Amino acid sequence: MSELPDGVERRQFDGESRLATRGEPVYGEPADGEWRAWDARRSKLGAMLETGMETGLVGGGTVLYLGAAAGTTVSHVADFAGPTYAVEFAPRPTRDLLDAAEPRDRLFPLLKDARKPETYAHVVEPVDVIVQDVATRGQAKVANANAQFLDGEGRLLAAIKARSEDVVADPSEVFERELATLRDSYEVLETRRLEPFHDSHLGVVARPR
């Protein structure tokens, strides 16, 4: 099992050891004092940590989170990271994201399309980590388009959802195609299937070329 980032711990909730961060609850997750459980079944990044992937996440690091949705995962990231830019395209989940950001002064919601990074390039500083959690066709292309924001020693953490690319193709074939596209901009360091937490998902750790 890889070392967890500073600010992420394993703590007991209802007799079960689970990942946890220190912050206000967001999605009804169990809490114990100031600590809140990080539900890996609702978070692909949480699943990557649970399966022992070497994410390169560090406490206080700067993060660009693509596909923030209602803030389930990005709120955990902002609990321990530094400035965290949360890009979400859909207005409805962005309203919930704003609620998650209210008690987190390091979380910056951006109502933008992750496929068009030029629309937020004037806001986002160079980051240590890009989290790619956009469940849409062309997931690797989205990651490539945002590579410009990643520090040279930084990491891309991508969760590739096979069914978002092709609902009938074998997931392994989909993953290989997406990885080939990612290699246009990144060197792939590690891949791991995210079962049993998420079916037909591949976790990817990469660094810029």
Residue 205 labeled ligand binder: no
Dist CA 163 CA 153 (whole Å): 31
Residue 29 labeled ligand binder: no
Cβ contact 74:93 at 8 Å: no
Residue 84 labeled ligand binder: no
What count of residues does the chain have? 209
Residue 169 labeled ligand binder: no
Cβ contact 186:207 at 8 Å: yes
Sheet harboring 84-88: ordered strands across? 107-111, 84-88, 63-66, 127-132, 150-161, 201-208, 186-193
Residue 73 labeled ligand binder: yes
Residue 136 labeled ligand binder: yes
Residue 114 labeled ligand binder: yes
Torsions phi, psi for 179 (to 5 deg): -65, -40
Query: Which residues line the annotated binding site for S-adenosyl-L-methionine?
Result: 72-73, 88-89, 113-114, 133-136
Annotated binding site: 72-73, 88-89, 113-114, 133-136
